Amino acid sequence: MKLAVVGVTGLVGQTILKILEENNFQVDELIPIASEKSVGKTIIFNQKKYKVCDLKTAINLNPNIAIFSAGKDVSLEWAPKFAKKGTYVIDNSSAWRMNDNIKLIVPEVNISILNPDDKIIANPNCSTIQLVVVLWNLHLKYKLKRVIVSTYQSVSGSGFKGINQLECEAKNINPQINAYPHQIYLNCIPHGGNFLENDYTEEEMKLTNESRKILNIPNLKLTGTVVRVPVKGGHSESVNIEFSKKPDIKKIKEILANTLGITIQDNPANNEYPLAINAEGKNDIFVGRIRLDNSNEKAINLWIVSDNLRKGAATNAVQIAEYICDNFIIL
């Protein structure tokens, strides 16, 4: 098994390596790939040393799987080249997510639609992944009608730049490069990605469009507000879900408790509910504050928290890679 990780020196790339090790993923030869400035650097994986190479070198090594986490432009240029050589490409960027010919996959929801001919597979946005895992089984029971989401997204979602800005501001140091147009320390910024013509941001429209595609509900009414908060790791979401049928709150909790990848933390009497600080470093999606909407008998409210670098990116990608190994690759 030859596995390439593109963008291996970034936050998500480093997290991918951790999860591959934790999952005992079979890797006979790791091909770590990064930009020219990182070529030649040494990384350690499974107690072995590997030298970082560039994309031109890597493609000639014919990896079985390549997990890309190096940005949209790199993926648009190189994913088709790797795929043409027979490599399965799992892409973490936004490059292919809304392409009609590319599958957008969250294993707990729609992994069954993959087939051996799908050489480029898109990994969704971090905030989308944790949302759709919660929505899917609830939809099967009660049929989604409308979803309203407010996200509270950590600075690690902006990579090293976001973390650096928060840490510098906390020490009253001016960061050399800002990830955000305003101070993030002791602040909340209702701004994720560029603003679009409809006055929504890119991150907000990703929530809407990607959820519709993954859930296979093209006309789902879903609207979101994305907020960046001074939290180092872990994205949180306040979600209002309206169904076509009147829900039973006990059944809702039962469905969520039996959903693979979800951990329920919902005991208000003991102040037990999901917290970003507790989700960091874990692969599960944590759900709490589950309650009926007191203004709509067909709706509920809940709170979702997940580590955006793990299930929101790296863990989801590794899960897809594991499925490909188990079903499509004969070594």
Residue 173 pLDDT: 97
Give the active site residue among 53, 126, 139, 325: 126
Backbone angles phi, psi at 136, to 5 degrees: -60, -60
Q: Based on the fold, state whether residues 99 and 142 are members of the same structural domain.
A: no
Q: Based on the fold, state whether residues 137 and 233 are members of the same structural domain.
A: yes
Q: Based on the fold, state whether residues 103 and 209 are members of the same structural domain.
A: no
Compute the Cα dihedral for 224, 226, 232, 238 and give only its sign: negative
The total number of structural domains that make up the chain: 2
Q: Which residues of the chain have pLDDT under 70?
A: none
Residue 256 pLDDT: 98
Query: What is the rounded CA–CA span in Å between residue 32 and residue 39?
Result: 9
- Whether 235 is a known active-site residue: answer yes
Residue 331 pLDDT: 75
Query: What is the rounded CA–CA span in Å between residue 255 and residue 253?
Result: 5
Range of the domain at 17: 2-124+313-327
Q: Based on the fold, state whether residues 153 and 241 are members of the same structural domain.
A: yes
Closest CA to 242 of 133, 143, 141: 143
The percent helix, strand, coil of the chain (3-state, each to 5) is: 35, 25, 40
Residue 54 pLDDT: 97
Q: Based on the fold, state whether residues 201 and 157 are members of the same structural domain.
A: yes
Give the active site residue among 53, 139, 235, 325: 235
Q: Based on the fold, state whether residues 82 and 155 are members of the same structural domain.
A: no
Task: Report yes or no on whether pTM surpasses 0.85.
Answer: yes
**How much is the mean pLDDT over the chain?**
97
